[in-house]
Amino acid sequence: MAWFRWIVGHQVLFMQWRLLAESLNRAVGRGVPGPVGGCPADALIDLCSVLFLYCGSCTPATYLDCLRPTMARQHPAFSGEWAADYRAIPVLVREVVDFGRSVRVRDAWLLNQRVHAAVANRLVPGRPSLLRQAGRRLGGGPSAEEATLFDSFFRTRRVAVCGQGFSLQLSRRLAMVISDLGCSGLYYDSSPVSVGIRGRYGDGSRVWSPVPRRCWPTRPGRSGTIWEVVVDRTRGNAKDVVLTQELRDYLVAHGCPPDPVARGLIAGTEALGGPAEMQIPPEQGAFLTMLARLLGARRIVEVGTFTGYSTLCLARGLSVGGRVVTCDISREWTAIAREAWSRANVDHLIDLRVGPALETLATLPREPFVDLAFIDADKVNYVNYWEQLVPRMRLGGLLVVDNVFYYGEVVAAHPSENGAAIRKFNDHASADPLVELVMLPVADGVTLARRLEER
């Protein structure tokens, strides 16, 4: 069954991407002929998000023992990036977003990338993709032979077909997927993929992710839709509020909304696809700027640069004469960061160190000198980063740590490797006598730790 879902689910994805390309082209005013028309781009993106969940609904063991080795035998660098129908999609999405044509497309795309990253993390936690394992870089594109191998693996044959024939093929495969969902119990998977929040039905059944209502029908005898988030008011604080997209937009607009440079960096990062999951949201960026200003920070250390949005926010909060030292291992992502910092005229305030962060931290002065530190990097090293940074924090200095909820996995019975690492880190930090700390439900959970005197 895992093989069926992997192949048929991807076949439907390829067809959805064709429809999505047509819809996105229409959104920017290009009447590009397509197989079938009329469906809004954001609805198609939402359906692709659901299909990602469907394709990856097998257990991690099945994926690692069966699916991944089979793809590797087809080609050692086998990658979803080789899908011919997908290659134009990120560029078209960015074009639609950059021209301000559709906020709904932007939001649907961001959710799509979070779903994709969550599925990948569930199936291969802490492991590189086959593409990276083979020493290839993202965005490199396949050769003609590799594209043919990819199509062959998914039993896809590309021939000219009329719109009616395309519709029939798509309808047939969608019917197979929906029938499988209705019969298999995937509605109530015991180990759900998390995309930032988890919901529950009134009877306690867990759901996977907040994909909009219009994507799927309800299951007879059950309330709600397959992936609708349902708030259980019998649990938690009565003042807890679910942060809907509308409420989040309100929050950002009434806080410190991103300026054109920041918006461009956000949009450019989202267009990268799956890796965009690593970018902090705008409200968290504004929070970092405010913290830096409240501290009067002159010496900031950041572990995990990515494409530089958090660094940009920290640099904008610096006091006169201040500087941010930021660490990352990727020249590819930090090249995007450098360009944005230059446009924002803060590049002279930032000292980028490319290389393993633990090695970089070990070269910093041992005496307490850091006003503000921000950790948002590989989760398995959080404890090590903490141990390097706490002794270097000045009295009253603030250590900010991201992803301390790790999509809720810190309270899961069987967390992924990253979820277990974060849970271990949280226990370690809360037991450290050199700090006092508070954990806040900002984004994916943020810990603020204030340096105390040694006792």
SS3 of 49-113: the string is HHHHHHHCCCCHHHHHHHHHHHHHHHCCCCCHHHCCCCCCHHHHHHHHHHCCCCHHHHHHHHHHH
172-228 tens-digit pLDDT: 777 777 777 666 555 433 333 333 333 332 333 333 333 333 333 333 333 333 333
DSSP secondary structure, 109-149, as one string: HHHHHHHHHHHHHHHSTT---HHHHTTPPTT----HHHHHH
Q: What is the pLDDT of residue 40?
A: 78
Helix/strand/coil for 260: helix
Packing angle, helices 309-316 and 282-295, rounded to 10: 30
DSSP secondary structure, 275-295, as one string: GGGGSPPHHHHHHHHHHHHHH
At residue 6, does pLDDT exceed 50?
yes
Q: What is the pLDDT of residue 393?
A: 96
**How many contiguous H segments (helices) and E segments (strands) does the chain have?**
17, 7
Which amino acid is located at 277 in the chain?
A: E
Ranges 11-15, 35-39, 165-169, 286-290: which has the least confidence: 35-39
- Give CA–CA dist 116/118, Å, rounded: 5
415-427 tens-digit pLDDT: 778 888 999 999 9
Q: What is the pLDDT of residue 437?
A: 95
Ranges 101-105, 296-300, 319-323: which has the least confidence: 101-105
220-233 tens-digit pLDDT: 333 333 333 222 33
DSSP classification of residue 272: T
Region for 79 from its dihedrals, namely left if φ exceeds 0, alpha if ψ lies in -120 to 50, beta otherwise: beta
Ranges 71-80, 270-279, 355-364: which has the least confidence: 270-279
DSSP secondary structure, 191-230, as one string: S---SS---B-TTS-B------GGGSPPPTT-SS-TT---
Maximum mean pLDDT: which of 49-63, 125-139, 143-157, 334-348: 334-348
Helix/strand/coil for 375: strand
Region 350-374 average pLDDT = 95
Predicted confidence band of residue 164 (pLDDT cuts 50, 70, 90): low
- Closest to 247 (Cα-Cα) out of 292, 283, 196: 283
Q: What is the pLDDT of residue 240?
A: 58
Domains of the chain: 2-186 (no CATH), 269-451 (3.40.50.150)
46-93 tens-digit pLDDT: 888 888 888 887 888 888 888 889 998 888 888 887 888 888 888 888
Predicted confidence band of residue 450 (pLDDT cuts 50, 70, 90): very high
Q: What is the pLDDT of residue 194?
A: 36
Predicted confidence band of residue 235 (pLDDT cuts 50, 70, 90): very low
At residue 259, does pLDDT exceed 50?
yes
Counting every residue written for the chain, the total comes to 455
Q: What is the pLDDT of residue 108?
A: 80
Share of the chain above pLDDT 90, in %: 33
- Answer yes or no: are the C-beta atoms of 29 and 152 closer than 8 Å: no
Report the chain's mean pLDDT, rounded to a whole number: 79
Q: What is the pLDDT of residue 182?
A: 60
Q: What is the pLDDT of residue 126?
A: 65
DSSP classification of residue 65: I
